[in-house]
Amino acid sequence: MAAKRNTVTTDVPESSVAPAEGTALTLDPRLSLRVDSVIPKKRHEALKWFGWGYNDSQFYGQNGIICFRGDKYPLGGCELPSFTKWVEKKFELTVDPRKPYPQLPQTFPRPVENAPFLSELRDSTKVEHSLEGIDRLIRCHGQTLNDIYSLWHNKFQRIPDVVVWPRSHDDVVQLVQLAHKHNVMMVPYGGGTSVSGAITCPQEEKRTICALDTSQMNRLLWLNRENLTVCFEAGIVGQDLERVLREQGLTVGHEPDSYEFSTLGGWVATRASGMKKNVYGNIEDLVVRVRMVTPTGTLERECSAPRVSCGPDFNHVILGSEGTLGVITEVVLKVRPLPAVKRYGSLAFPNFEQGVLFMREVALRRCQPASVRLMDNEQFMFGQALKPEKSWWASLVDGLKQRYVTAWKGIDLSEICAATLLFEGDLKDVQRQESIIYEIAAKFKGFPAGGQNGERGYILTFVIAYIRDFGLHQGIVAESFETSVPWDRCSLLCRSVKQRVVSECYKRHITFYTISCRVTQTYDAGACIYFYFGFRCVDVANPVELFEAIEHSARDEILSCGGSLSHHHGVGKIRSSWYRAAVTETGSSLYSATKRHLDPKNIFALGNLLPLEEDTQKPAAAPPPPKAKL
């Protein structure tokens, strides 16, 4: 049968044969583009081995002041005296610049060898691999607080025994077949940004562990301008993907907080959500087709039609599978033309409850801009503290603005909250959206607070992750957690969870802490809520265990208020104890049956979602989660 012709951006010589759309096996190499990534194959050359982000980007203390180094973010080269005062007041902690950061270990856990597997890997494939300790160590973990603390204190006993770098779907097929044949456990590794423990090496695993690093699978395989679809290999990093598409005047528009470092495959595996989902959709809205290699074959949908009614949609078996069923290799996505106009804005509200009512009204009228995010007072003050030191004149102007807010607007600074806005589209559409949004804000006593504040608040999202590691360095443990909730329980959940954290801190004699929240994504029926929690842990024996105990209580409170187990971080290992109750016994049995069929030897034994061993042994059912408050 003749191959279907695919319209691509690359001019094809008349003598060449066009491949079937999305079929890498028959793809003419002249139709694909290998992407030069900002992240090298040896990740530690550009990224920290002991925490989040670039090697040259970091908060640090100097002369008693917190500063930020690096030229990749607006805060680069800035002194932050207000942030320093905020830390001192909130945690009664003085920055100590003399504290050393952890040093790279000189020895690494001894690998568990599987000689037949390694021999066949060398002799029968062309896949690059490494047994070096540093390559193994940096792929043994994600970015949870527990991961980083364990890394700093050299607590990992099991790390990958070998790292492989496939360069195509076919390479992955070979590797999965080899692992299945020799009973080698595989960990699909993308950007390493998981905050659910999903890619953390199971510490009790006895078999050889092979980390399958997808970073060299980052080609643009084809682009169809007429259908506005594109096919990328799953290892491409978010910022690389968008850079390549921008050169073509296009965008996917998926921008999670981890966008700089996370991969397309990781987005699919966790059912990710981006900050601009109001315009572009969540990852499940953007995916047209996806290929996943399993020990029993490749799972994919053959048709690229925009919608099909053909039984259960197996795209959704792959979405959210968290590396437990196979390796995602290729993804077909929707693309959009780059917006003509991008404009930031911000709003101030007298209190959080008024802000939530505003968010509800915006969702009800379905007039959300690309991004609208509401911060509570604690988070608003934290954001204000992160502003760099200003000149005398700028400080005077800020003082007048504050007087306008407090004296003339009658707003209490201990209650005020703010929303950041991002508008994208044609000029007329943006102007219309702005008019509607500011009209709705006024209905709930909100008023414009400037585009500069909105832009700064949006971009600061990418810097906040660096604060967690700086805090840990100075004696503060902190992390975020999230949920989604129906609108009628949104304010209740925010209040109840924060009060539960306060209560748990009191019971555990924790005096210096912060707990804040923001509403980040809105839907017809509800919203996503992010919580940020941290406490001073100087002289605390087991700070991470203490943090996890409090977070566990907070999660119980979330569930009792009608919130979800996760909106977009996924279940991983740290929320797996609730998974069975969340999806029912029938749902967990269905997942287990799928797992047994696709991965009969359990080589993808990450322990995420519902571990197969638990299901096989049929343990006593976990107690049901607390009933939602009415």
List the catalytic residues.
Answer: 530
Q: Is 193 annotated as a binding residue?
A: yes
Q: What phi and psi, each to the nearest 5 degrees, are found at residue 426? A: -70, 155
Give φ, ψ of 445 to 5 degrees: 65, 25
Q: Has 260 been labeled as part of a binding site?
A: yes
20 labelled binding-site residue:
no
**Is 326 within any annotated ligand binding site?**
yes
CA angle 199, 283, 298 (to 5 degrees): 65
Label residues 147-180 b or e (16+ Cβ within 10 Å = b): bbbbbeeeebebbbbbbbbbbbbebbbbbbebbb
User: Which DSSP string do the residues of 342-371 spell out, in sequence order?
Assistant: EEEEEEEESSHHHHHHHHHHHHHTT---SE
Please give the Cα distance from 75 to 136 (Å, whole number): 33
Tokens of 414: 């201990």
Please tell me what DSSP assigns to residue 630: -
- Taking CA atoms, 496 is separated from 361, 417, 489, 499, in Å, by 23, 18, 10, 5
Strand 297-299, strand 287-294: pairing: antiparallel
Within 295-444, strands assigned E span 297-299, 327-334, 336-337, 341-349, 371-375, 417-425
Give per-residue burial for 194-224: e unless 16+ CB within 10 Å, then b.
bbbbbbbbbeebebbbbbbbbbbbbbbbbbb
* 208 known ligand binder: no
The answer to whether the annotation marks 189 as part of a ligand binding site is: yes
* Dist. CA 333–CA 352, nearest whole Å: 37
- Whether 553 and 504 have beta carbons less than 8 Å apart is answered as yes
Q: Would you say 52 and 465 are in contact if contact means Cβ atoms under 8 Å apart?
A: yes
**Annotation-wise, does 107 bind a ligand?**
no
Output the six-digit token pair for 292. Answer: 């996943």
Tell whether residue 120 is among the known ligand binding residues.
no
User: Structure tokens of 551?
Assistant: 């977070």
Task: Measure Cα distances from 419 to 382, 383, 516 in Å.
Answer: 14, 12, 14
The verdict on whether residue 26 carries a ligand-binding annotation is: no
Does the annotation flag 191 for ligand binding?
yes
- Known binding residue 263? Answer is yes
Residue 306 annotated as binding site: no
Residue 161 and residue 130 in contact, taking contact as beta carbons nearer than 8 Å? no
Other beta carbons within 10 Å of 1: 4
Residue 383 counted as an annotated binding residue: no
- Is 192 annotated for ligand binding? yes
Q: Is 190 annotated as a binding residue?
A: yes
262 is in an annotated binding site: yes
Cα–Cα nearest to 138, from 185, 203, 196, 199: 199
* Cβ proximity of 522 and 368 under 8 Å: yes
Residues 464 and 462: their CA atoms lie apart, in Å, by 6
Which residues fall in the annotated binding site?
A: 188-194, 257-263, 270-273, 322-328, 468
Which residues fall in the annotated binding site for substrate?
A: 468
Which residues fall in the annotated binding site for FAD?
A: 188-194, 257-263, 270-273, 322-328
